[in-house]
Amino acid sequence: MAHARFMDLSFRHAVEIRHDAAALDEPGVWVVVATFEGALTCVRFAQAAPAVRPVARPVARWVPLGGEWTSSLGAAAYQRGVQEVRRRVAAGTVYQVNLCRVLSQPLAADADLDALSLLLLRANPAPYAARVHLPEASLDLVCASPEAFLLRAGDRLESRPIKGTAASVEAMLTKDYAENVMIVDLVRNDLSQVCRAGSISVDALCAPEGHPGLVHLVSRVSGQLRPGATWADILQASFPPGSVSGAPKSSALATIGDLEPVPRGPYCGAIGFVDNDRGRAELAVGIRTFWAEDDDQGRRWLRFGAGAGITWGSEPAAEWAETELKAARLVGLASGRVRG
């Protein structure tokens, strides 16, 4: 089982809120949330570093959501999307596309996601779990991500893409391993744009990693940053994460725009911190993430995303089932159908 811990990024003393990547090269500690569509929020704090601790204040018990979740793509529409991706693969315009859907449930105005965060911390620990509650920046989310988008220590930059998900290692398909290798090549190319020539290394390839209810294949790609490389350079080269977009990335993003009816928001974006005082950064891929959002009518919603990597070898019903597997435990916990 992967090592789990928790970051409480819900500080109450924001010094500065910015929406440009240049902020991330300035001194201080910055909490970062980037939507899949590229909207960037950087919040600087006076305290020295993000806390790795549970929420400190008293929190009421999470009240399970009893209603039905709606999906931006139902089973039939999602499977038609899989077939369309396969047609585009056959035509040679794309090799792999991560096709996603967003689940939604009405949320009471006074619902406190701190309680949901603590429930997930107990019942679904994750390596990059985080709670972000920043009313000043309209951010209210709970992340239980197993995937590192970018880890930085000094001039060392690392990404740990996940491709391949099943209930067990034995249930992994040849397709799962092929997907992972394809995305590793993409990540190598992304990092090479900002790293020293010859420094890119694949430190692990398709390593099985256990999480509650499922197993992932995880690879590790690293490199040494070129002198003068800025965070704007790094994000321009690597965002959005290859594992949740596809290959080639530009063609995959065009396909996602054609097939997905709603924005992903922080789901599949980046969530974490940049600590320039210590030369460290940790940005997770925003998967396994709940977020609260108000619609145009002022109604509050809890949202959660799930997706799967589609290639020529994809079977539509199996890909739909993979999205259900990824959502089952966390949505079940939020709804009270899975015991915490």
Catalytic residues: 147, 163
> Which tokens is 165 given?
């998900």
Distance CA 314, CA 88 (A): 13
Distance CA 33, CA 131 (A): 11
Omega within 30 of 0 (cis) for the link into 58? no
Q: How far apart are the first and last CA of the chain?
A: 18
Residue 298 to residues 109, 239, 329, Cα–Cα distance (Å): 10, 31, 29
Q: Token pair 């490389």 is at which residue?
A: 229
| CA proximity to 97, closest of 107, 84, 110 | 84
Strand ranges for the chain from DSSP E: 6-8, 14-18, 29-34, 40-45, 70-71, 96-106, 128-134, 139-145, 148-153, 156-160, 162-166, 201-211, 214-224, 246-247, 270-275, 280-285, 289-294, 300-310
* Residue 79 backbone dihedrals phi, psi, to 5 degrees: -70, -30
